[in-house]
């Protein structure tokens, strides 16, 4: 971070959440633990990019990955407490977008 930043922590948070698809992945996981395929089906994102974003969010402590020793192996992703703490901010952003954001139809 450069020394001219108003708030380095806020800047880092915005950078993390504004990374393509990260905010939507977190929003998707607010409804509870989900398998990779479920997340992938809910978003127009490639499996490769989804995997990359999930790893980024896991490194940041926002998402956790749980492997169930079954055959076939089942893997679920869920929000950590840190990730769940984003819910009020994301819900407020959702309200704001419903009121002020216009989606143009092609």
pLDDT in tens, 49-71: 999 999 999 999 999 999 999 88
- Give the predicted TM-score (pTM) of the model: 0.85
Judge whether 1 lies within some domain: no
Judge whether 37 lies within some domain: yes
Judge whether 27 lies within some domain: yes
Identify the pLDDT of residue 103: 86
Residues 106 and 93: their CA atoms lie apart, in Å, by 24
Identify the pLDDT of residue 1: 46
Judge whether 15 lies within some domain: yes
Of the pLDDT bands very low, low, confident and very high (cuts 50, 70, 90), residue 3 is low
Q: Is the pLDDT of residue 6 over 80?
A: no
Q: Is the pLDDT of residue 4 over 80?
A: no
Q: What is the arithmetic mean of pLDDT over 25-42?
A: 96
Judge whether 105 lies within some domain: no
Judge whether 3 lies within some domain: no
Q: What is the arithmetic mean of pLDDT over 84-105?
A: 93
CATH number (domain holding residue 46): 1.10.10.10
- For the chain, what is the domain count? 1
Judge whether 2 lies within some domain: no
Domain span at residue 74? 9-100
Q: What is the arithmetic mean of pLDDT over 20-41?
A: 96
């Amino acid at each position: 971070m450069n020394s001219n930043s108003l708030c380095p922590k806020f800047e880092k948070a915005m950078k993390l959440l504004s990374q393509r698809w990260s905010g939507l992945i977190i929003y998707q996981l607010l409804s509870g633990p989900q398998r990779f395929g479920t997340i992938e089906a809910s978003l127009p994102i490639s499996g490769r990019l989804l995997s990359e974003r999930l790893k980024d969010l896991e490194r940041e402590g926002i998402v956790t990955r749980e492997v169930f020793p079954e055959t076939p192996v089942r893997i679920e992703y869920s929000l950590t407490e840190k990730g769940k703490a984003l819910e009020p901010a994301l819900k407020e952003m959702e309200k704001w977008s419903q009121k002020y954001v216009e989606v143009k139809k092609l």
